[in-house]
Structure 1
């Protein structure tokens, strides 16, 4: 999370837009995103140019052709004429980034950018914003992510319709738990700004083989990574644009980001298409029954989105595919027939790998909802079934659990990853520990209740008290002291 001077710089940038008539938070984020995208393209080009100078020869895969050099951030930011800067950015640089995915409108990025509008109205505002952005240090990728997350927190719609921004360290935890593979087909059916897909891309970028070589560069892997691996669905046009730009900046040349209302009948055709689903879908209670995809209602009779999304994940996954998703606590212990039926399906028909209970402060300051991470593998009715479920009771995530969310030493995430990788149903049986296994038969006997409190044993510390006579004597001594003090005060009043 960003604090101090960097936070103040972002706040001043935000205020500049508001003072010049752009008051819709989503519009502000979108305009800043365009400028950040232009700047990032130029930063990548500068790296290529430095490499070419060092090694000799020309720039490989240059982003800016000779006739588009004026569109580069490093060019127009140094112009002394604000009106000239506005003309270049509005009439050349912005149309340039709109056409990056192709001019025929066939690529997902090009489709999302068709309706993009450059809204900065004055040269003075653009000049101010460009120089403010240029003074924000964004060399570190974590800083860029924190900056973006902080901007998203300013959305007036954040928290409505169940849309909570997922903290980046929780996203990374879920990616690490599922360990994406080079030929995976990865989907987030409620992708927003594509945070899960970006984290998966970074995980694979860092993945090395036994000889220390990047796995992503192996024959066939890079092409799959750049064009076929990443899929995201959302129905918000602005988020689709932001998500597409986000993935392209992370080296994904053709991300499959599509406009879909994932639960609707209009988009019910996608099934058994992916090997990994990562998601924190919006949980907004109930939706209109007539709009729900019929194949989902056949799996589960409900209008509650938190249950429908789990059914959706199962529909989207290929057999053997795995998922990590954030769910509200009610999914784990809800007593309705639909709740119990969905949990039974995960346990009996598929392989429920793990449940990680998270503290309620994880989503603060945007929401105080209690949540958990569920990890499962789609198996199939005939060969399915869970033998044991791994539970972990997360107490701390490295940040304070109040609205400030300041960094603290207590952090269970490294322990979660270590325990997950070394988990052993025969050994992890201590119910007083943070991590333990529970057999399927016990879960079944408890109505498929998956709340950790149902199985965890709390170890109470024995407290020794003084004998009653000693306690009474102490009370009398205290009363004598009080009487003595009252006598002194009474004496002072005479």
Structure 2
């Protein structure tokens, strides 16, 4: 999460847009994002130039040619407002829309991007504000845009528009760390939004497999990373543009994000991916005639959270893994549809873990309690012992402020403990039901109608409280009463004395 100082600078830029005549929150975010993207393109070019100097090899696909130097952020930001406005509107913005290969998926998302900043003065103020904002960040690393998006998108909710918000970054990173994506994975998020899960997965792979992908001669692996590894669907074209830019600024040359209603009949994909990471919409309800019949055959329901689970099973290849956030109702809902989807995960797939999260994780947007389900698609069962963990703290206060706490204290942040325990489940076998994590055998889950709530299986230890003998308690009460009467008498004497004087 970004600091209060950074938030204040973002608020100031937002105010510039507002007073400059751009008042639709989503439009502000789009224009803000385009300028962040343009600045990021200059940073990418600088990295490529530095790499070229080190290796002595020319840049293979430069973002800017020598003739386009004036289109770089570091160049046009120094110009006067009138010239800056002309260059950005007539040259920089059209160039941004053509970044990447001709007819690439990325350029397709930017086809309908429109520059709507109305005046040179507003553009100059916003560019100066963004430049100061990025210069003052602790480090302009590959996470910068995601952190800024998280705060920018929160303004959609406070402004009453769309109500879109991202999954907290630290929760996304935890899920990615639990799944440990590899360079050979093909990853999907069927409700991708700003591509937070895909970006985090890309970061994980970049960090842990950099040499394998980028320092070897394996062009096939590099192409997979740049073109086919990261896949996302969303119905919102604006979110897709933001997500595509987010991925590209994180080093993905041509992100594969598509405008698609994942649950609809138009989505015919199946068994295409090896890893699914997602936080699909909660509390949605669809008409049966809008939903893909293949999903309804799996679970007869109108609830989006259940339909998305069925979709994820369908999208994964056999052996594919999934980590998905679900509302608590999925774990314990009594309807046939709820029971059917849980039964499928337990009996037909391999359910591995249920991590319950506190209700404050998604504040201030929502107070719903949630959990993370981790499973592997087998279509042939395989569930044995399911690992349950009760997350009580995620490193931030669980109120609307979500203030960052001391991450070094275990009691304030369970995330490192979750990752450590999940990475060595052999040590979990002997844990008791009174602890924060434990195993539950499939037979016990079946006996409990496939309920997956942590509270269903935990055991509470009641401490014996010893009280004093009744006779002693009565004696103490009498003594207290005597002291009260004595105090009242002393108070009456003081009042009489005050009246006489």
Same fold by TM-score greater than 0.5: yes
Other-structure match for 2:14 = 14
Give the match for residue 197 of structure 1: 198
Counting only pairs closer than 5 Å after superposition, residues 177-196 of structure 1 correspond to structure 2 as 177-196=178-197
Distance 2:162 2:20 in 1: 29
CA offsets per residue over residues 219-278 of structure 1, 9 Å max, x none? Answer: 2321110111111000101001001101111111111100001011122x1011111110
The residue that corresponds to 2:485 in the other structure is 483
Q: CA deviation at 1:66?
A: 1.9
Secondary structure at the aligned position of 1:175 is classed as: helix
Match of 1:373 in 2: 372
* 1:171 partner SS: helix
CA distance, structure 2, for counterparts of residue 163 and residue 454 of structure 1: 32
| Cα deviation digits, residues 279-331 of structure 1 (max 9, x gap) | 00111331112101111111111101110000000110111111000000000
1:151 maps to: 152
Report if aligned partners of 1:161, 1:282 keep a CA contact under 8 Å in 2: no
> In 2 relative to 1, CA 162–155 (structure 1 residues): closer, same or farther, beyond 3 Å?
closer
* Structure 2 Cα separation of the partners of residues 175 and 10 of structure 1: 28
Distance 2:352 2:161 in 1: 31
Match of 1:121 among 113, 118, 121: 118
Which range moves more in the overlay, 109-118 or 347-356? 109-118
Secondary structure at the aligned position of 1:271 is classed as coil
The CA deviation at 1:435 is 1.4
SS at match of 2:257: strand
Aligned partner of 2:344 in structure 1 is 345
TM-score (normalised: structure 2):
0.92
For the aligned residue pairs, the C-alpha RMSD in angstroms reads: 2.0
Partner of 1:304: 303
* CA deviations over 1:354-404 (Å, ceiling 9, x no partner): 000001111111111100000011101xx3231111111111111111111
Partner of 2:184, secondary structure, is coil
Residues 1:162 and 1:26: Cα distance change in structure 2 (over 3 Å): closer
Match in the other structure for 2:42: 42
Is this contact kept in 1: 2:192–2:278, CA < 8 A? yes
220-229 or 356-365, which deviates more? 220-229
User: Which residues in structure 2 correspond to 1:353-432 (within 5 Å)?
Assistant: 353-380=352-379, 383-409=380-406, 410-424=412-426, 427-432=429-434
Query: Does the 8 Å CA contact 1:38/1:97 hold for their aligned counterparts?
Result: yes
Kept in 1: contact 2:272–2:315 (CA 8 A)? yes
- Distance in structure 1 (CA, Å) of the matches to 2:222 and 2:204: 14
Partner of 1:441: 443
Q: Is the CA contact 2:142–2:249 (under 8 Å) kept in the aligned structure 1?
A: no
Counterpart contact for 2:145–2:246, Cα < 8 Å: no
Report which stretch shifted further, 396-405 or 473-482: 473-482
Residues 1:142 and 1:366: Cα distance change in structure 2 (over 3 Å): same
CA distance in 1 between partners of 2:94 and 2:225 (Å): 27
Find the counterpart in structure 2 of residue 97 from structure 1.
96
Question: Larger deviation: 393-402 or 39-48?
Answer: 39-48
C-alpha distance in 2, partners of 1:32/1:299? 42
> C-alpha deviations, 1:76-118, integer Å up to 9, x for none?
1111x20110111111111111111345xx3221221111111
- Separation in structure 2 between the aligned mates of residue 416 and residue 307 of structure 1, nearest angstrom: 25
Following superposition, the deviation at residue 197 of structure 1 comes to 0.3
Distance 1:350 1:162, change over 3 A: farther
CA contact (8 A) 1:158 1:164 kept: no
Post-superposition Cα deviations, 1:408-463, rounded to whole Å, max 9, x if no partner, equal 23111111111101102882441111111100110000000000000011223333
Q: C-alpha separation between the residues in 2 aligned to 1:162 and 1:433?
A: 37
For residues 51 and 272 of structure 1, the distance between their equivalents in structure 2, rounded to whole angstroms, comes to: 38
Deviation sequence 1:144-189 (CA, Å, 0-9, x none): 4322211111113899988542000100111111111111110000
- Tell me if the contact between 2:306 and 2:330 (Cα under 8 Å) persists in the aligned partners: yes
* Separation of aligned partners in 2, 1:295 and 1:162: 30
Change (3 A) 1:444 1:122: same
Offset at residue 405 of structure 1 (A) = 1.1
1:241 corresponds to? 241
Q: Do residues 165 (structure 1) and 173 (structure 2) align?
A: no
Matched-pair contact (CA < 8 Å) for 2:278–2:323 = yes
Alignment map for 1:28-107 (pairs within 5 Å): 28-53=28-53, 59=59, 61-79=61-79, 81-103=80-102, 106-107=103-104
Contact 2:25 2:159 in 1 (8 A): no
Please tell me whether the aligned partners of residues 164 and 282 of structure 1 are also in contact (alpha carbons under 8 angstroms).
Answer: no
Deviation by residue 1:4-44 (Cα, 9 ceiling, x = unmatched): 32111111111111112211111111101000001011112
Counterpart contact for 1:443–1:450, Cα < 8 Å: yes
Q: Is the 8 A contact 2:181 2:204 kept in 1?
A: yes
* CA spacing shift, 1:232–1:223, aligned 2, 3 Å: same
